[in-house]
Amino acid sequence: MHGAKKKVTRSFGGAQDKNRNGPTNAIASIRPPTPVSSQPHKLILLDYLMKTTEQPSHYDNLEQLSTHDLLAHINAEDHVVPKVIKKILPSIERVVDAVYERMAKGGRLFYIGSGTSGRLGILDASECPPTYGVPAGWVIGIIAGGDRAIREAEEFAEDDEAQGWLDLEAHEANERDFVVGIAASGTTPYVIGAVKAARERGLGTAGITCNADAPLSQFVEFPIEAVVGPEFVTGSTRMKAGTAQKLILNMISTSVMIKLGRVHGNRMVDMKLSNSKLVDRGTRMIMEETGLAYAEAERMLLLHGSVRRALEENDKMNT
């Protein structure tokens, strides 16, 4: 029975909560960190205790919860994310239009981040070629610490303020391109250093963070701040913050690709035919558009290499 263990209640206030151990808002009981001036990384501009992403969870005694209650509370927190995204759609819209403007003129889109944020950027970038048939160099994901950091944490890689731009330079980033810095905290030196240098050199810049008035936002043209609140596990920004970042990246890349003409109707007509499932999907798209039988639609797809080219050739044959 779920009632066998004491259910931990959720509270948003700062007053003492009798159903949990200690104050709901534990900030007052935490000793502040070393002042910024004596810390080695000058771009850590926000006090640790003021960042929403570091504030205590609305829940406590998590190890005492049943599996059902753990899942129910995580799910309740996840429901916050799309509501926050809805409120910041105008900020995302501005980024989409700015990215499209540059990519339509031959520019590229870069995502740069560290840890979870960097991995999410790489994920989004790596899915653009198979989904939309674009060259691998159109959308590029960069992570602090290099490719090894995709699978293993690279200690202190995110603290190198200068390395971000050096990693962009390795791809010959230039004024035609657009850089999106991704950092849940909005304080990551690697990311801030990258967008700051990029903006100084004429590249378009945006930042995705989950703290209000984050330093990252101050160094980009187009800030996106998805403040989703404290994490279920305090400070674990791979949870709500990561979900918010993934949704925003989906929206940016999908909308830009549609505007660049990489979707016909609602179909991925330029997708790469990299497996049997996608060949079957492409065949059925052609059938729906042309009325051809399966075998003939599949023959045309394999002959021309994409749904788009198969449809164009079919149109030529019938004009």
Exposed / middle / buried, residue 84 (Cβ in 10 Å: 0-12, 13-18, 19+)? middle
| Closest of 26, 31, 6, 7 to residue 16, by C-alpha | 26
127 has catalytic annotation = yes
Q: Alpha carbon of 43 to those of 161, 192, 223: distances in Å?
A: 8, 8, 17
Please tell me the total number of residues recorded for the chain in this structure: 319
Q: How far is it, in rounded angstroms, from Cα 220 to Cα 95?
A: 11
Which of the residues 54, 63, 101, 127 is marked catalytic? Answer: 127
Instruction: State phi, psi for 26 to the nearest 5 degrees.
Output: -85, 0
104: which DSSP letter?
T
Which of the residues 54, 77, 158, 225 is marked catalytic? Answer: 158
Q: How far is it, in rounded angstroms, from Cα 298 to Cα 273?
A: 11
Q: Name the 3-class secondary structure at 287.
A: helix
What tokens appear for 239 in the block? Answer: 């949870």
Q: Which amino acids are annotated catalytic? A: 127, 158
